[in-house]
Structure 1
């Protein structure tokens, strides 16, 4: 039932994709804001309490419904409930229109339109941005978004928690951002626990996504980039995904500091670097073609996940 639930949910999302601002997620975001307003008194312990209360309020009812449906042998209803939860927690098509539109704009040579779309998508200043920079940021955003909106959800749905796991992952991912990234929250202790919780929740999924990218792409370069460059990103999970994803496609992702041949120490004037071993991130500078490569990489990784899930489901059915 797990494989069929994911497959049907993916088909539904392709036919009727949910936008990121759909009513369900909009209401959840308002609830997250209220929770922060109610509990944020400047202490990390308040953030921990708010996190557990919000997670419990969303996951426990979903788990209870699923358990009751199975308890009374309502298998089809339980299957439909699984499909609904996955459909609501997946975000495969939430932002794909931005990526596709940027790709079309760059292919048409309309750099100003591509900059405007990227600015709207990533909420960054894109004035004067070159094509290579537009391509790099779009590819990075697509890889990270796909991991967090698809592959991470898959992993936690496959855990014994079932639909509760999918909700746990997406909610914790959002809280880690919403309670830490806004300007007024960056110096607050309230979001510390949310960030730490998601770090551990995403620890295994991030590495599985990187492995999937390596398997369906250039395995050697992906693993090399992962081992030697992933630690340069401030966010470890993002570093692993982008280093492996870029290596798999033969594209250098990350800022110059993250993909530089060698990080020069602050006291470089007193250090003889002539004998230092120099590592070079494999791949070429991102361009328009990198966007098409990203689409292929994501779809191949998705097919790999589905094939493995089908084999696992088949093994379970055969006993």
Structure 2
């Protein structure tokens, strides 16, 4: 059922993605702004805030789905929850918008879009490049949510959506607070294993030898803490996998436009590989 729910949600995302404004985090932002307005300043900056934000929706989702008896109803509702947890916005939309701005010569708009794409968890020198940031965004918008959904159902998807979005909102409303520090830690913990699975899948979708070489190089760099290394792996391993193996050695796309297009194609190939792995796992469970 998890695999069918994933396929249904991805299909709906493609169809609904044609609608203007689809994929914007309206519900999340509205709920967080309301909570921010109603919460005392001390609570908003406290370590109590992240559990209070994350735990109730996750527990409610887990409880509600445990009481649904009809498999068809459960499947449709699961796909709906997953659909709402994907994104915000599809990575391809953001990349195509950036390419349109560059083609139109709108340098200010292109720079704004590039900064937005590079705004992610724990920004550091290891993944400040636009291409590396795109792979981080791909995990945050798509692969991380799919992995949590496949492992733990709708409650898992809700959990990852909340812990991945909360640090950015707290960074704007409570910078440097204990609440932000705990939210960053929760995000890093929940992303540690899925991020490495995503990096491996991207390696399989590109040049695996180059991906593994970049991974080994990261292990030799002692300055990376466990949290920083998670995002570095997500950025650098798939970026290395962009090199296509030919007789003369590895080659990479010559221009930024070609590079961004190859990132999107790699994401599509990686998604197919992950879905195939899900299908094999689900078949094994059925057997």
Bin of the TM-score, shorter chain as denominator length: 0.7 to 0.9
Structure 1 residue 157 corresponds to structure 2 residue 149:
yes
Higher relative contact order (CA 8 A, sep 6+): 2
- For residue 97 of structure 1, the aligned residue among 78, 93, 100 is 93
In the alignment, what sits opposite 2:211?
A: 222
**TM-aligned CA distance change 1:237 to 1:117, over 3 Å:** same
Q: Distance in 1 between matches of 2:43 and 2:56?
A: 23
Per-residue CA deviations over 1:178-201 (Å, capped at 9, x if unaligned) read: 213x2x633322211111111100
Match of 2:164 in 1: 173
Cα distance in 2 for partners of 1:216, 1:23 equals 26
CA-based RMSD of the aligned residues comes to 3.1
Change (3 A) 1:194 1:40: farther
Gaps of 5+ in 2: 119-127, 245-250
The count of corresponding residues between Structure 1 and Structure 2 is 267
Which structure has the larger Rg over C-alpha atoms? 1
Distance change in 2, residues 1:124/1:68 (3 Å): closer
Is residue 147–residue 194 contact of structure 2 (8 Å, CA) maintained in 1? yes
After TM superposition, the score normalised by the length of structure 2 is 0.81
1:150-196 CA distance string (max 9 Å, x none): 1101111122x31000000010001122213x2x6333222111111
How far apart, CA to CA, are the structure 2 residues paired with 1:194 and 1:285? 39
- SS of residue in 2 equivalent to 1:199: helix
Matches within 5 A, 1:1-319: 1-17=1-17, 25-36=25-36, 38-41=39-42, 46-47=46-47, 49-70=48-69, 74-91=70-87, 93-104=89-100, 106=102, 108=103, 110=104, 112-113=105-106, 115-120=108-113, 122-123=115-116, 137-159=129-151, 161-180=152-171, 182=172, 185-229=174-218, 235-250=228-243, 287-317=256-286, 319=287
Shift of 1:56: 2.2
- Aligned-partner SS, 1:202: helix
State whether residues 101 and 109 of structure 2, in contact with CA within 8 Å, keep that contact through their aligned partners in structure 1: no
What secondary structure, in the 3-state scheme, does the structure 2 residue paired with 1:69 have?
coil
**Pair 120,215 (structure 1): closer, same or farther in 2 beyond 3 Å:** closer
Q: Which moved more, 1:138-147 or 1:293-302?
A: 138-147
8 Å contact from structure 2 (residues 195, 234) kept in 1: yes
The structural deviation recorded for 1:246 is 0.9
